[in-house]
Every structure is written in C-alpha cells, then in structure tokens.
C-alpha cells in the first residue's frame, strides 16, 4: 500500500531547515526534508503504513518510518515477479573459471524461498543471527535475502578474512548458523574455505549448524550432525514461501568494520530506512533505467558496497546486474573489460585502487575491447586522485561517460555525497555536493562551518534514513566513536577531513589521521598522493608523516613506477619532489621518496599506512595479519636494503 504520513518529527530540539544554504549544499530537497524522504519510502511496498517519518527524540538513536512494516526480500524480489517482470535477468553471474549462470527474478524468488524454508527447518526464528562467509557466488545473495525474508539479521564476513577474524564476529553476534563453502577460486586455483571456518567455529558453541555450498569440489573436513550440504538441504525444499512483514526498525544486518585491533565493531543497520535510501541513492546516483541498463558493481559481497549496491539497492530497483567471482587479472588483465563487452554493461562502479591497477597495466588493455556500452562510471572506497579520474573517464568511459565519485561509509549505509549524472560540470577528484535529502558540512575544531577555500572536518548535521542504528551490543561505544567529537552541536563525525573549494564544492581529504602536520601546516596524504600519481612516471603512491625534530612531521612517500619507466635513483627522487612542490607548494615536498615494488594493502584494498610509518621511522614493522599479502613488507624492506631511491 502507499502509506500516508503526517511527516512529523519528534525531537527535543527540532532540526534546522533542510533548505538552509551552506557551501556545497544548496536547498536540495525542497522545504521539507522529511516529506522528501517520505516520498522516497513510498516507492517501496509497505504492509503497514508508518505514522511518523522520523523519531529523533532519543538522539543519537534514530527511528525512521515509525510504525511502518515491510519485508525487505519481498521488496527486492517478489513484487517484481508479481508485477510481470519474472523473466527479467536479475544477475548475469560469471565464475572465475569461466562457468556462468543467468538468474531471472523468477529464478531468484524460487531460490530465496527454498533457502528460507531450509533455514526454517533448522529451527531459526526471527531475531536469530546468521553468519555468512562465501565467495562471490549466487548462493551469497540467496542467503542474504533468505535471512532478510525471515527477519534473521545476517553478518557477512569477507571470504579472505582469517579464521580468527571470523570467530570474533561469530562470537560478538552470537550467530546460530554459519553459511560457507567448501572453497573458493582465487587466481586460477581452488583455495580451501571450509577448513578455515572449521577452525573459526572450534570454540563457538553458539553455532549449531554449518551449511556448506559445494563450489570447488575439493575435499573438506566434516562434522556429522552439525555440517550440512547446501545442495542436499536447500534443493529439497519447496520453492513456495509466504513472507511476513517486520517493523521498519527490525535489524537487517550487522557488518563489522575491519582493519582495527581489539574487539570488532558491529555496525547495525535496520530495514525500512536502509532500504529506502539504498534504493533511492542507487537509482539517483547512477541514473538507472531498469528496462535498459546493465549494471556492475565490482565490490565483494562482504563489504557494505556489496550489501547496498550489489544486493539491496539494485534488486529493490529491479536492476539487471553483473556479478563476478574472481580477480580482475584471471586469466588475463582484460577480464573485466571482456565481461563489460560480453554483457553490454552500461554502469560500472569500482574502486580507485583497481583503477590505478588498470593504469599500471596500461591503456592498451582496455583498448582491445568494445566498451562503448558504458554510460556512467562510478568510484567508491576512497578519494580518487584527479589523474586516475581522468584516465578512468578517457580509457574506460571513452571520454564521454560521466564519473560519479561517491563518498559514504559502512556507518552511513549508502551514498551521501556524489555528483549526479547530467548535473553541474564534474570536477576530477571531488565528490562535490551532498545528495538531495542529505545535509553535510565542513567544520573547524569548534564545530563552526568553515568558509570557501578552507579545510576542516566532514560532519553530518541531520539524521538520514540509512544511518547506523548503533554498535551491536555497545551503545556507549556508538556514542563515543561517532558522536562525542561534536557532541555540543549534535553532529555525526565521519572521521574524514574535507575542504570547500571556491565554488563551495566538497573535496575529501581522507581520514583525519591521514593528515600530516608539517611546520604547523595541515597537509593531506591524499593531496600529496594525487600530486605524485599525476606524474607520468608514477603508477601508485602512498604517503605518511614521519616524526621530524625540526618540522614535527616530515613527508615520506612510497611510489610504484609505471611499467617501462627507467629512472636513476637521483633523477626519480628529484623529479618527483619538484613535481609535488609545483602541484601543491614547497611545504609539501617529501623528505624522502622510496620506490617500492608493491604497497601493503588490506584484503579490501586499503593501504596500511601504519606499516609504512613503521618503515619511515625505522621501527620494527607491526602486525601484518590483516594484509592481503604479508610478503609485501619483505619486498619493501628488501628493496630498501638494495638502495631504493631516497631523497633527503
């Protein structure tokens, strides 16, 4: 039904007007921000109408669409089939070895119903948590949607995470079921997965069953009575299931932030507000037409991008998507472009890390393929440097496709800041403006908004529907982590630095702990990295601040040179230092430049600057267990021992 709403907000102190003019945010959602979000929610199917759009009376704990009831999986699958779109393709799936599956919306409904019935047969009831560690295979989507259908909050764990990381997440969520696979394909090899999950569940008595997808056919350890094969349990179920509705604030999933030490931090997202904003942002940012577009988000299902822009947002919008299991250079460096050509992908959404990898491989690789179908390019995960932005648009987008540079977080749930296709002229490297309905500001240490041309902290000063509802089981940690820095103002602090340009557009500067203080000047690592990568010799760069007796901190850069580049040690250091001085100013000149073969990255592609800081300050390198490839640090140290270029 289409709900009616009085668009009220209950709060001890009413929010400021949505149309307040601030740099980077014109009045975008009309005069009534809550009425705007009500209109977006009305695009979903609600079994029971809401009575209040937003209850912010217990800030910072929000309740959106109060009293409303819906089923997330019904909105993503069943309603499209019932409307006559069962034959539309939901997913073109490509396995790394070359196997494929075409899954229509009717197929998807059958598989989700069978999976839901299987979970019910295990005695699970609404509110029970389910842990999922699977590769990028269709069963991952079936499992997530089956959980949503039954009101079982899921906790998806990236397939590359260690048994210890999986165990900590299972324990924190007290999951009753783990869904995994025998193995996964990585770079042409079948790697075990079940053996790792067995190690993770050795001391987790909360796990009653382990449901195992047979993907690779490799032998696996087995515990009778606990372990169950997917194909034996799920395939035997009925493909009919009637979903029940749940409260708009019913927990949908817990997603744990990675790369931190200590107890994992479970970010909680709920149902109605999250799905409303996931669907709205997916359709708006990419300008999608469900009748014509073929969309590909290259993220892994284990990250928030996979949740919001592979599963929930696209399916709520009846999108045809591509889903790929493997690595981008298996069996060759043109694999992504081959897939784009094969399916006629029109929207391609990926990370700057991969774009820079494509740059390193060379423009001749995408040039071998017909990429003319691409109409919109997206960037996600970190600020994209202007050079990578231009390369992306030219060599993947044919110098015609707009690039939407999106800023958001696991905590925000969905995209918050991004240019819109067909909007004002794009600025390479800038996310530009908050989306309609979103309010964001750049403020100083006292929480005062800074002016044009000035830098500060990025905050969100109004609640939004897809916002996190807390840290699982730890309300105090939620308040302290996200709301204490600007508690007096009631601002959510994103942890990122940003600046307004002279037009009032927003430029992200990376995490505030990635801002260096050189002789009293705040210099962003992202700015220096962008300057380095804009030099034709550099493929990728990472910058850290190292302690310096004179300047407080000095800039140390680690660079990977482009293939075929031949430089002497002195030449490369001198040229790059002068290039940075010209691009930013003499104050940003690196004290040292080290040429390295690779950079240390987590499995999600984020550079581990902490380890590079250890190298820069001649300390023993710290814990490398979260790296995708721990041997990278050995390569860096070996290269430095061989006399890699340095400049003093």
Report the candidate in 130, 133, 258 with the shortest Cα–Cα distance to residue 192: 133
Rounded-to-5 percentages of helix, strand, coil across the chain: 30, 25, 45
407 assigned ligand-binding residue = yes
Any known ligand binding at 329? yes
* Nearest in space to 108 (alpha carbons), one of 148, 61, 151: 148
Among 229, 154, 259, 270, CA closest to 610: 259
Please check if 481 is assigned to a binding site. no
Determine contact, residues 383/429, Cβ cutoff 8 Å: yes
Give the contacts of 569 (CB within 8 A, at least 6 positions apart): 595, 643, 644, 645, 646
Distance (Å, rounded) from C-alpha 100 to C-alpha 326?
Answer: 12
Residue 579, both tokens: 């290039």
What letter would DSSP give residue 48? B
Say whether 551 counts as a known binding-site residue: no
**Alpha-carbon span 175 to 154, nearest angstrom:** 9
Q: Is 535 annotated as a binding residue?
A: yes
**Is there a binding annotation on residue 538?**
yes
Extract the tokens encoding 248.
């708009």
Parallel, antiparallel, or unpaired for β 552-561 and 538-548? antiparallel
Residue 155 assigned to a binding site = no
- How far apart CA 315 and CA 309 sit, in angstroms, is 9
| Structural contact between residues 399 and 371, judged by C-beta atoms closer than 8 angstroms | no
Residue 121 annotated as part of some ligand binding site: no
598 in a labelled binding site: no
The reply to whether 496 sits in an annotated binding site is yes
433 is in an annotated binding site: no
DSSP-derived 3-state class of residue 163: helix
SS (H, E, C) 344-407: CCCEEEECHHHHHHHHHHCCHHHHCCCCCCCCEEEECCCCCCHHHHHHHHHHCCCCCCCEEECE
Has 189 been labeled as part of a binding site?
Answer: yes
Residue 381 in marked binding region: yes
Distance CA 538, CA 347 (A): 28
Which among 3, 7, 33 is positioned nearest to 460, based on CA atoms?
Answer: 33
Q: Which of 383, 386, 350, 384 is nearest to 366 (CA)?
A: 350
Contacts of 527 (CB under 8 A, 6+ apart): 509, 584, 588
644 assigned ligand-binding residue: no
Closest CA relative to residue 255, chosen from 172, 138, 319, 333: 172
Q: Is 405 annotated as a binding residue?
A: yes
Tell me how far apart the alpha carbons of residues 56 and 62 are, in angstroms, rounded to a whole number. 5
> Long-range contacts: 531-536, Cβ < 8 Å, 24+?
531/579, 531/580, 531/583, 531/584, 531/588, 532/557, 532/559, 532/576, 532/579, 532/580, 533/356, 533/385, 533/387, 533/388, 534/385, 534/386, 534/387, 534/579, 534/583, 535/575, 535/576, 535/579, 536/562
79 is in an annotated binding site: no
71 is known to lie in a ligand binding site? no
What is the token pair recorded at 517?
A: 């203080």
Residue 523 contacts residue 544 (beta carbons within 8 Å) = no
Instruction: Judge whether 410 is annotated as a binding position.
Output: yes
> Tokens in use for 273?
């507000």
List of long-range contacts for 238-242, beta carbons under 8 Å, 24+ apart: 238/113, 238/114, 238/117, 239/109, 239/110, 239/111, 239/113, 239/114, 240/113, 241/112, 241/113, 241/114, 241/116, 241/117, 241/149
* Residue 400 annotated as part of some ligand binding site: no
Q: Is 483 annotated as a binding residue?
A: no
Task: Please tell me whether 50 is known to bind a ligand.
Answer: no
Q: Was 522 annotated as part of a binding site?
A: yes
Known binding positions for Mg(2+): 533, 535, 538
Binding-site entries: 186-189, 305, 329, 381-383, 405-410, 496, 511, 519, 522, 533, 535, 538
Binding site feature residues for CoA: 186-189, 305, 329, 519
**What residue numbers does the annotated binding site for ATP cover?**
381-383, 405-410, 496, 511, 522
């Amino acid at each position: 039904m289409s709900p009616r709403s009085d668009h009220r907000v209950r709060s001890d102190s009413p929010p400021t007007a949505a149309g307040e003019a601030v740099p980077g945010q014109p009045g975008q959602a009309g005069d009534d921000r809550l009425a705007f979000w009500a209109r977006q929610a009305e695009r979903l199917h609600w079994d029971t109408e809401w009575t209040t759009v937003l209850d912010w009376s217990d800030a910072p704990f929000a309740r959106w669409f109060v009293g409303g009831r819906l089923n997330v999986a019904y909105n993503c699958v069943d309603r499209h089939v019932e409307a006559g779109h069962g034959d539309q393709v939901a997913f073109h799936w490509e396995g790394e070895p070359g196997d494929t599956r075409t899954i229509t919306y009717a197929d998807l409904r059958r598989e989700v119903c069978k999976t839901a019935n299987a979970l019910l047969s295990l005695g699970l009831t609404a509110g029970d948590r389910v842990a999922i560690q699977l590769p990028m295979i269709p069963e991952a989507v079936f499992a997530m949607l089956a959980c949503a259908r039954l009101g079982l909050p899921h906790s998806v764990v990236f397939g590359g995470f260690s048994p210890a990381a999986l165990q900590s997440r299972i324990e924190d969520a007290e999951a009753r079921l783990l869904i995994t696979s025998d193995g996964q394909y990585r770079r042409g090899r079948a790697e075990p997965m079940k053996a790792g999950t067995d190690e993770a569940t050795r001391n987790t008595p909360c796990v009653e069953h382990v449901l195992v997808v047979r993907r690779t056919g490799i032998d696996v350890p087995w515990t009778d009575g606990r372990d169950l094969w997917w194909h034996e349990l799920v395939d035997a179920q009925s493909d009919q299931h009637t979903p029940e509705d749940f409260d708009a604030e019913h927990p949908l999933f817990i997603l744990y932030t990675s790369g931190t030490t200590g107890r994992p931090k479970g970010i909680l997202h709920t149902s109605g507000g999250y799905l409303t904003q996931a669907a709205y942002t997916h359709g708006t940012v990419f300008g999608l037409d469900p009748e014509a577009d073929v969309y590909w988000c290259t993220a892994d299902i284990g990250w928030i991008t996979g949740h919001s822009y592979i599963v929930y947002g696209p399916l709520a919008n009846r999108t045809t998507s591509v889903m790929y299991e493997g690595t981008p250079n298996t069996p060759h460096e043109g694999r992504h472009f081959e897939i784009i050509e094969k399916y006629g992908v029109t929207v391609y959404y990926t990370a700057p890390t991969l774009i820079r990898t494509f740059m390193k491989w060379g423009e001749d690789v995408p040039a071998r393929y017909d990429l003319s179908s691409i109409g919109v390019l997206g960037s996600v995960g970190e600020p994209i440097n202007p050079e990578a932005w231009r390369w992306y648009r030219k060599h993947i987008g044919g110098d015609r496709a707009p690039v939407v540079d999106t800023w958001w977080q696991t905590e925000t749930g969905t995209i918050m800041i991004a240019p819109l296709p067909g909007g004002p002229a794009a600025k390479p490297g800038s996310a530009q403006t908050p989306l309609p309905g979103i309010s964001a500001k750049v403020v100083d240490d006292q929480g005062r908004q800074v002016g044009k041309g000035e830098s500060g902290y990025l905050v969100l000063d109004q609640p939004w529907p897809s916002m996190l509802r807390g840290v699982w089981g730890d309300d105090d940690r939620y308040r302290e982590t996200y709301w204490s820095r600007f508690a007096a103002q009631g601002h959510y602090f994103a942890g990122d630095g940003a600046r307004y340009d002279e037009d009032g557009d927003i430029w992200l500067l990376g995490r505030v702990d990635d801002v260096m203080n050189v002789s009293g000047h705040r210099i962003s690592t992202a700015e220096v990295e962008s300057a380095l990568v804009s030099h034709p010799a550099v493929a990728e760069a990472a910058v850290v601040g190292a302690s310096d007796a004179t300047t407080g901190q000095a800039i140390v850069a680690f660079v990977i040179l482009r293939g075929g580049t031949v430089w002497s040690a002195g030449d490369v250091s001198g040229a790059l230092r002068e290039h940075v001085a010209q691009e930013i100013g003499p104050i940003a000149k690196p004290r040292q430049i080290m040429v390295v073969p690779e950079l240390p990255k987590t499995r999600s592609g984020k550079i581990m600057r902490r380890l590079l800081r250890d190298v820069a300050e001649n300390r023993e390198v710290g814990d490398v267990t979260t790296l995708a490839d721990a041997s990278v640090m050995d390569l860096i140290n070996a290269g430095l021992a061989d006399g890699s270029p340095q400049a003093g």
